[in-house]
Amino acid sequence: MTAVADFSDLWDPRPGWLNTASYGLPPRPGWEALQAALRDWQVGATSWEPWDKSTTRARESFARLVGADAADVFVGSTVSAAVAPIAASLPDGARVLVDDIEFTSNVYPWMVHADRGVEVVAVSTDQFVDAIRPGIDLVAVSAVQSATGTVLDLAQVIAACKEIDALLVIDASQAVGWLPLDVTGVDALVAHGYKWMMSPRGATFGYLSPRLQERCRPLHAGWYAGRDIGDSYYAPKMQLADDARRFDQSPAWFCYVGAAPALELIEQIGVETIHRHNLALANEFRAGIGLPPGNSAIVSAAIPGADEAFAAAGIRAAVRGGNLRVSFHVYSAQADVQLALEALDGLVKT
């Protein structure tokens, strides 16, 4: 059976890195591929086409990770830009439901359409499913909440959306790479790769269901969205790809050079294996600060003075919504948990 420990030599984390929810650390294959491409760029050793092959590899790997057909996956640069064509497709007066702690990349793209009557309704996490009622046209929510680490009951949300025929858009930036996911029943799933997929910032992936592809206009269409990329360089004819690739943004090549090996390594290790590893460490930390077991690789806790204690101990984490936020991934170890608990000694009651 594959174990995370079998791959531990592919990372070089400085002890105390507990902040993957902010950005992930690159595995050696991704780092080395990126350095090689940068060296080639520096001296003009190659054309761009070899770099661009990484975009195809990354697209196909992402599709496998979320149970999608690669023909239904597009690439881009940010979550907000990926969501924008969906928001533009909403009719005037549409109502969008979001969590009141939703990261704004999955909120602002809907809110900017307020001038044509699009209304964003925000409710608390514990009331979210009950708020999926007739009158809601689209549900936009994260698979894992950035601020709290709360894991969405995706099956329940899918069922509620289906009952009222509402579109469902999932931001999976805090999920893909450690949480098993499948796009069945989802209309769109978008994720930036620089967190749990351990890719350079600038590599974003999105799944669009066939029904949503038909509703959306490819607002970012350029040469890379052409049916034949090599024949799409110059005006005035336009023949876009027939599949989700027509929603591609022209990729930042080097980001995908680093992304492809990272995603393929996640596949090799196995998301289920990474999931078990991350939860074991997160729950060991939770037990150490007096919390019951959870189901997330992100732990959020109100511990006054924790940020200062971590800084003094050289531990890198985050503060979100006034709470300490720590996050565990494939390169995290029990030693990191113990280092964190020692730093918090005297600040928590267990």
Provide mean pLDDT across the span 194-219.
97
Structural domain ending residue among the three candidates 250, 267, 284: 267
User: Per the domain annotation, does 31 fall within a domain?
Assistant: no
Statement to judge: residues 8 and 96 lie in one domain: no
- The residues, any chain, with a CB within 8 Å of residue 92's CB and separated by 6 or more, are 116, 117, 118
In a domain, 349, yes or no: no
pLDDT averaged over the chain? 97
Report the amino acid identity of residue 310. F
CATH of the domain at 279: 3.90.1150.10
> 55 and 177: one domain?
yes
- Quickly state the pLDDT bin for 349 (edges 50, 70, 90): confident
Q: Residue for token digits 């280092």?
A: 339
| Residue 30 counted as domain residue | no
- What does the pLDDT read at residue 160? 98
Q: Work out the pLDDT band at 2, boundaries 50, 70, 90.
A: confident
Beta carbons within 8 Å of 121's beta carbon, 6+ residues apart: 95, 96, 97, 98, 131, 136
Picking from 267, 295, 330, the residue at the C-terminal end of a domain is 267
Q: Quote the pLDDT of residue 194.
A: 98
Percent with pLDDT over 70 in the chain: 99
* 65 lies in the same domain as 200: yes
Residue 168 sits in the same domain as residue 301: no
Give dist(CA 112, CA 284) in Å, integer.
42
279 found inside a domain: yes
Tell me, what's the pLDDT at 348? 86
**Is there a single domain that holds both residue 133 and residue 250?**
yes
Predicted confidence (pLDDT) at residue 125 exceeds the cutoff of 80: yes
Domain shared by 114 and 257, yes or no: yes
Residue 69 shares a structural domain with residue 212: yes
The residue whose two tokens read 């170890």 is 333
Q: Are residues 184 and 110 in the same domain?
A: yes
- 348 domain-assigned: no
pLDDT by residue (tens digit) across 209-251? 999 999 999 999 999 999 999 999 998 999 999 999 999 999 9
Q: How far is 164 from 185, CA to CA, in rounded Å?
A: 13
Strand partners, 96: 120, 138
> CATH number for the domain including 78?
3.40.640.10
Number of domains observed in the structure of the chain? 2
Are residues 323 and 254 part of one domain? no
Is the domain of 78 the same as that of 134?
A: yes
In a domain, 32, yes or no: no
Q: With 90 as the cut, is the pLDDT of residue 106 above it?
A: yes
**Domain co-membership, 199 together with 320:** no
Residue 19 confidence class, pLDDT cut points 50, 70, 90? very high
167-171: strand order across its sheet = 73-76, 204-208, 188-192, 167-171, 138-142, 95-99, 119-123
Q: Is residue 164 part of a domain?
A: yes
- Which of 212, 242, 267 terminates a domain? The answer is 267
Q: Would the pTM count as exceeding 0.95?
A: yes
CA-CA distance, 179 to 160, in Å (whole number)?
Answer: 21
pLDDT on residue 350: 64
Specify the amino acid at residue 26.
P
Statement to judge: residues 123 and 18 lie in one domain: no
> Domain limits at 13?
4-25+270-343
Residue 1 has pLDDT above 80, yes or no: no
Give tens-digit pLDDT for 133-169: 999 999 999 999 999 999 999 999 999 999 999 999 9
For the residues 22-40, what does the mean pLDDT come to? 98
Whether omega before 236 lies within 30 degrees of 0, making that bond cis, reads: yes
What is the rounded distance in angstroms from the CA atom of residue 302 to the CA atom of residue 293? 16
- Residue 225 to residue 238: CA distance in whole angstroms: 10
The percentage of the chain sitting over the pLDDT mark of 90, rounded to a whole number, equals 97
